[in-house]
Amino acid sequence: MVTGWFAGEGDDFTLLGTRCSACGSVFFPREDSHCRNPGCDSGDLAEIPLSRRGRVWSYTDSRYRPPSPYVTVPELPWEPYTLIAVELAAERIVVLGQAVPGVTVADLAVGAEVEVVPGVLHEDGETIWTTWHWRPTGVTA
Partner 1 sequence: MTGEVAVLGAGMHPWGKWGRGFVEYGVAAARAALADAGLEWRDVGSIVGADTVRGGYPGYVAGATFAKALGWQGARVASVYAACASGAQAVAAARAQILAGLADVVLVVGADAAPKGFFRPAGGDRPDDPDWLRFRVLGATNPTYFGLYARRRMAVHGDTVEDFAQVKVKNAALGALNPYARYRKRVSAEEVAASAVVADPLRLLDICATSDGGAALVLSSMEFARRRGVAEPVRIRAVSTVTPTYPNTVLDLPDIATDSAAAVEPADGTFRASIARAAYEEAGVGPEDLSLAEVYDLSTALELQWYEDLALCAEGEGAKLLREGATAPGGRIPVNTSGGLASFGEAVPAQAIAQVCELTWQLRGDAGARQVEHARVGITANQGLFGHGSAVITVR
User: Given the complex with partner 1, which of 12 and 107 has the nearer CB atom?
Assistant: 107
User: Given the complex with partner 1, which of 13 and 81 has the nearer CB atom?
Assistant: 81
User: Given the complex with partner 1, which of 37 and 140 has the nearer CB atom?
Assistant: 37
User: Given the complex with partner 1, which of 14 and 131 has the nearer CB atom?
Assistant: 131
- Residues forming contacts to partner 1 in the complex (CB under 8 A) are 1-2, 20, 23-29, 36-39, 57-64, 66-71, 81, 83, 85, 90-98, 105, 109-111, 121, 131
Q: Closest approach of Cβ 56 to partner 1, in Å? A: 9
Query: Do 2 and 29 form a contact (C-beta atoms < 8 A)?
Result: yes
Q: Closest approach of Cβ 6 to partner 1, in Å? A: 11
Query: Cα–chain-centroid distance for residue 112?
Result: 16
Q: Closest approach of Cβ 94 to partner 1, in Å? A: 4
Q: Closest approach of Cβ 141 to partner 1, in Å? A: 21
DSSP the chain: --TTSEE--GGG-EEEEEEETTT--EESS---S----TT-----EEEEEPPSEEEEEEEEE--SPPPTTS---TTSPP---EEEEEEETTTTEEEEEEEPTT--GGG--TT-EEEEEEEEEEE-SS-EEEEEEEEETT---
Q: Closest approach of Cβ 45 to partner 1, in Å? A: 12
User: Given the complex with partner 1, which of 63 and 128 has the nearer CB atom?
Assistant: 63
